[in-house]
Amino acid sequence: MSENEKKKADQIKLLLVDDEKGFANIIAKRMSKRGIDVTEAYSGTEALRAIRKADFDVAVLDLKMEDMDGIEILKIFKKMDPDLAVIMLTGHGSEAAAKDGIKFGAFDYLTKPCDLEELLEKIREAYQQPKHM
């Protein structure tokens, strides 16, 4: 396997789910520049469609979306792929709900607006879980 092929094989596959398209686009571009393969979904419905089509290593999931609650999506993700590492994103005031996400299998949570480097570090930590080693 060539060095380029090895890099591609080791690339983190991230599903980014947020109904704030501008925010999601910025995060996706910045993560892509850091070598992460990002798929964006702007609703719970799109997220479920995406996870049925492809395998992901990590999902970053907004807690509050118009069509579905993030906890509801998390529960479905965990039934479909128990090993999927999910990082919850929450706006101010819903930290308790994000902590509830941990109870349902989320890897961790961050509050919005989040620091890009902190998010990147959480994604890498989630990827380093035993299923990827």
In the chain, where are the structural domains located?
Answer: 3-132
Helices (H), 19-112: 21-33, 44-53, 70-80, 95-103
Between the CA of residue 20 and those of 64, 83, 132, what are the distances in Å? Answer: 10, 26, 30
Q: What is the pTM of this model?
A: 0.86
The CATH architecture that domain 3-132 belongs to is 3-Layer(aba) Sandwich (3.40)
What's the CA gap between 41 and 127, in Å, rounded?
A: 20
Instruction: Output the tens digit of pLDDT for each of the chain's 133 residues.
Output: 333 333 444 689 999 999 999 999 999 999 999 999 999 999 999 999 999 999 999 999 998 888 888 889 999 999 999 999 999 988 765 667 767 788 889 999 888 888 899 999 999 999 988 764 4
How many CB atoms within 10 Å of residue 65? Answer: 22
